Structure 1
Amino acid sequence: MSEDKALTKKSENITDWYNEVVQRAELADYAATRGFMVIRPRAYEMWEHIQSDFDHTIKTKYKVKNAYFPLLIPESFFKKEQEHAKGFSPEVAWIANTDEQNRLAIRPTSETIIYDSYSKWIRSWRDLPLRINQWCNIVRWEIGITRLFLRTKEFLWQEGHCVYANEKEARKEALQYLKEYAKLAENLLCIPVICGEKTQAERFAGAVNTYTIEAIMPDAKSLQMGTSHYLGTGFAKSFGIEFLDQEGKKQLGHQISWGFSTRLIGAVILMHGDDKGLVTPHALTETKIVIIPILIKGREEQVLNEAKELEKSLKSFGAFLDAREQYTPGAKFSEWELKGIPIRIEIGPKDLENKQVVLVRRDTLQKQFLPRKELKETIKKELKQMPIDMYNKAKNLQESLITKVETKEQFFAESKQGRYLFVPFCGLPNCEAEIKEKTGLSSRCVPFDSKPNGKCFWCGKEKAKYTYFAKSY
């Protein structure tokens, strides 16, 4: 049973609220090693549903194959691609005590170790396209404050790595995988996202272009939900990924990579949770319904028997009966609201007399008094409607947090109000560095439909594109 102390209100302190929900809803815990976390079964089940959904998509639609590559990467591999090495050097955890001539890095990402293998596997145009994904853990030695799911030194993710014969095909699929991420976020997690391209300053180290989906959280901070990268031929040159084309000429492979991580779970918690705790999209949990009997002295056996029959009849919906006698119905209500079970069904002596049950949706907390014969159809209807309502609620909130501004003065004023800003921006790294230093905001993405038709709000350069700026997780 969870602690009795009330949660911090989300509207009053979202940071404290988030930390309390993660631990008290039994999603994760802090590990003995600082900066690491333990993912508990409730959250790992969410990750398994995300894995299953996306794994099915990439295998059936794109013929991607799963593989696994080593955790440890020789230092010499990083040196082969200097821009990549420079970008990741602050985050790399090194193993110093080895028998190897080179130091070994614990993977911060797997481009280098995977591309060493690709250089051996690819010989001809017939070997392309090569599409491989791996589900694994990553270690990045973050210097700043760590937060469970959102920023820890170790996390779980998927990373896809593909090689193509030409740029057109590579770019096309980089955008297709990003679209799949957007579908997953919006359809499975019920979180609306903004799709676009990263600026030069925010680009993945070694990439020609980085594409992203960004979600606006309730505190107007941005959470990067997934990225894909067109890598060009830079890694192919460094690692010797070459093939003979149909005319027998040697060519370099064009590459992309794409990934998302367990921070998606953090996004679900932040986006949908309320003052009572976690609100879980039902697609992320096997247990969709909790049945709570209201036991009154003298009627216990009758009510409990009826509750057991309910559990049997609703097994296909993922129902379970909380028949613990040591806790009151009110305590059970609070616990399962905290843990985010999508639907609660209550049944007591009066409900038996009226041949009804009480149904409560976790996202709205509204009670419905239903005739028993209508229960199954109502559950089907509510499970269909819940994701739509959760998505729309999130969409309305996000839209209320965006402010379009044109000038530096407006930018300063609105940034102090904690807004998610949409401004014409030149995209130059030196301008972005100044903005970040003076306001703490960074560019999040340039929407794909943004046209170069304005003056940069910061430096006045022409042909600026409207770009989102915000603080980020």
Structure 2
Amino acid sequence: MSKALPTRSENYSEWYNELVKRADLAENSPVRGCMVIKPYGYSIWEKMQRALDDMFKETGHTNAYFPLFIPKSYLSKEASHVEGFAKECAVVTHYRLKNDPNGKGVIVDPEAKLEEELIVRPTSETVIWSTYKNWIQSYRDLPLLINQWANVVRWEMRTRLFLRTAEFLWQEGHTAHATAQEAIAETKQMLEVYAQFAEEWMAVPVVKGVKTANERFAGAEDTYCIEAMMQDGKALQAGTSHFLGQNFANAFDVKFQDKEGKLDYVWGTSWGVSTRLMGALIMAHSDDAGLVLPPKLAPIQVVIVPIYRNDEQLTQISEKVAEITKDLKKLGISVKYDSSDNAKPGFKFAEYELKGVPVRLAMGGRDLENGTVEVARRDTKTKETVSVEGIAVYVQNLLNDIQESIYKKALTFREENTHKVDSFEEFNHILDTKGGFILAHWDGTSETEEKIKEETKATIRCIPLNQEAEEGVCIYSGKPSKGRVVFARAY
């Protein structure tokens, strides 16, 4: 049996890194800072993609694909955008290699220098808005609602599987509208889509809010976000939606003729989530024994393991399991029957526990005689013996219960680790002893925000939406405050 995982209490970071590798989700690649997403991990990402893609299409969006390479001059057209991404860009300068005349492999051909360098996309606003100039002429072309599933590159120095890698997978929505009101409505709508996905599929409760000017996306007028709490009390930004105003339309001269025949710049949005959601899924629910996956995103929802003395008994169990499997699949439940002889049942139990399979069924000779099966749920590790009659519906209800139970557990954890504070002394004490989300008054200035960040490493995660107005005084400056914001240390 494989060596036990490090525990979360001993070393949360090591626990996470080991779990990602041991559960066969991902591994480091030969390219520094990049990862290989293994089949089991990619199966979870595919389920995320499928659910999100359906939600995007239900809200009127269609998929397209844009180039990986962006001319350098495009990035310089929107000043704040290039400033925000300049330090993370990978640059292509040549288009050809040649054999080294010294016989040492290949070298870059100095004669093959590009006239204009190409940037490997860190995000696609510039290349997409240059395209939209050709697609949009009239109000009849609006709204334009496009999504792209792609990879992006942001040159990171300190990387961590799923959470921060030089290359990662994501989706990016880019929309154009006739009015500011429509664009803002789109921005908020997509935030709601992300929040619904996080809570109903990932079973991760989130706080919806708007970013401060310091934390806003480069080139946006406003950035809306969902923030999730991990089990170590740190925050993780789980999705963002940006109101771009007319910034990119101005930069790329994207105009439309309105119903009165007047020309005006269109209004834009962009929004995205990435494979960082995999990190959130792992850290929000998993335990010291391995992954705990919400059933809606589990590649295998039910695993069935036979316990047998001889081949004859295995044949009888397999016949019964075939009936159970058929009934489960009719209900849309993904199931695996592991009758392999390369490991004992106890080892298999531990491996499927490590991989976070929500429900495990075990059937032995006595179960076969009694018409029963042992049912174990991954989230609580509880077991019970149940009749095989109606087992499919029983398991279906159990999966629904597990999905809800995992969400409630995460919500309770967040509530227990969210603290209101009214002084900087209390702020520091909570941050250092308990962590979590801290609701505190802030005077609204970038200067105070930066000073708090420098002194505590805590950032304003968001200004919560729909919170009750509560005037007070800033915990740091003592100046008037219009309301509390969410502070936390974050990934």
Please name the residue that 2:84 is paired with.
87
1:127 to 119, 141, 160: 141
Take 1:327 and 1:443, find their aligned partners in 2: how far apart are those partners? Answer: 50
| Alpha-carbon offset, residue 96 of structure 1 | 2.0
Please name the residue that 1:52 is paired with.
50
**TM-score, with structure 2 as normaliser:** 0.93
Which amino acid in structure 2 is aligned with residue 133 of structure 1?
A: N
1:186 aligns with 2:199: yes
Q: Secondary structure at the match of 2:196?
A: helix
Please name the residue that 1:471 is paired with.
489
Take 2:436 and 2:272, find their aligned partners in 1: how far apart are those partners? Answer: 28
Take 2:243 and 2:327, find their aligned partners in 1: how far apart are those partners? Answer: 51
Structure 2 unaligned spans of 5+: 96-112
Q: Point out the more displaced range, 339-348 or 449-458.
A: 449-458
Q: Secondary structure at the match of 1:373?
A: coil
Take 1:206 and 1:286, find their aligned partners in 2: how far apart are those partners? Answer: 38
| Alpha-carbon offset, residue 420 of structure 1 | 2.1
Q: Secondary structure at the match of 1:100?
A: strand
Please name the residue that 2:101 is paired with.
none
Take 1:69 and 1:326, find their aligned partners in 2: how far apart are those partners? Answer: 47
Take 1:415 and 1:315, find their aligned partners in 2: how far apart are those partners? Answer: 48
Take 1:323 and 1:311, find their aligned partners in 2: how far apart are those partners? Answer: 13
Please name the residue that 2:341 is paired with.
325
| Alpha-carbon offset, residue 10 of structure 1 | 2.0
Q: Matches of residues 57-456 of structure 1 in structure 2 within 5 Å?
A: 57-61=55-59, 63-98=60-95, 99-143=113-157, 145-297=158-310, 299-316=313-330, 317-417=333-433, 418-450=435-467, 451=469, 453-456=471-474
Q: Point out the more displaced range, 323-332 or 450-459.
A: 450-459
Q: Secondary structure at the match of 1:275?
A: coil
| Alpha-carbon offset, residue 201 of structure 1 | 0.7
Which amino acid in structure 2 is aligned with residue 60 of structure 1?
A: E
Take 1:363 and 1:104, find their aligned partners in 2: how far apart are those partners? Answer: 48
**Contact 2:444–2:481 under 8 Å retained in 1:** no
May I ask how many residue pairs the two structures share in their alignment? 469
Please name the residue that 2:6 is paired with.
8
Take 2:353 and 2:62, find their aligned partners in 1: how far apart are those partners? Answer: 39
Q: Deviations over 1:302-348 (max 9, x none)?
A: 33443344334433322221111221110000000001111100111
Which amino acid in structure 2 is aligned with residue 387 of structure 1?
A: Q
| Alpha-carbon offset, residue 286 of structure 1 | 4.1
Structure 1 unaligned spans of 5+: none
**Contact 1:185–1:191 under 8 Å retained in 2:** yes
Q: Point out the more displaced range, 379-388 or 77-86.
A: 379-388
Take 1:332 and 1:363, find their aligned partners in 2: how far apart are those partners? Answer: 17
| Alpha-carbon offset, residue 257 of structure 1 | 0.5
Q: Deviations over 1:428-460 (max 9, x none)?
A: 221111111110111100101243612111112
**Contact 2:458–2:489 under 8 Å retained in 1:** yes
Take 1:46 and 1:261, find their aligned partners in 2: how far apart are those partners? Answer: 13
Q: Secondary structure at the match of 1:260?
A: strand
**Contact 1:295–1:304 under 8 Å retained in 2:** no
| Alpha-carbon offset, residue 299 of structure 1 | 4.0
The alignment's C-alpha RMSD in Å is: 1.4
Take 1:299 and 1:129, find their aligned partners in 2: how far apart are those partners? Answer: 64
| Alpha-carbon offset, residue 120 of structure 1 | 1.6
| Alpha-carbon offset, residue 119 of structure 1 | 1.2
Change (3 A) 1:407 1:328: same
Take 2:314 and 2:148, find their aligned partners in 1: how far apart are those partners? Answer: 52
Q: Secondary structure at the match of 1:135?
A: strand
Q: Deviations over 1:354-386 (max 9, x none)?
A: 221100111111111111113122112102211
Please name the residue that 1:458 is paired with.
476
Take 1:452 and 1:233, find their aligned partners in 2: how far apart are those partners? Answer: 33
Take 1:4 and 1:45, find their aligned partners in 2: how far apart are those partners? Answer: 23
Q: Secondary structure at the match of 1:364?
A: coil
Q: Deviations over 1:2-61 (max 9, x none)?
A: x61011112322211111111111000100011000011111111111111111122122
Please name the residue that 1:31 is paired with.
29
Take 2:419 and 2:53, find their aligned partners in 1: how far apart are those partners? Answer: 37
Q: Deviations over 1:272-306 (max 9, x none)?
A: 11111011111113421111111125844433443
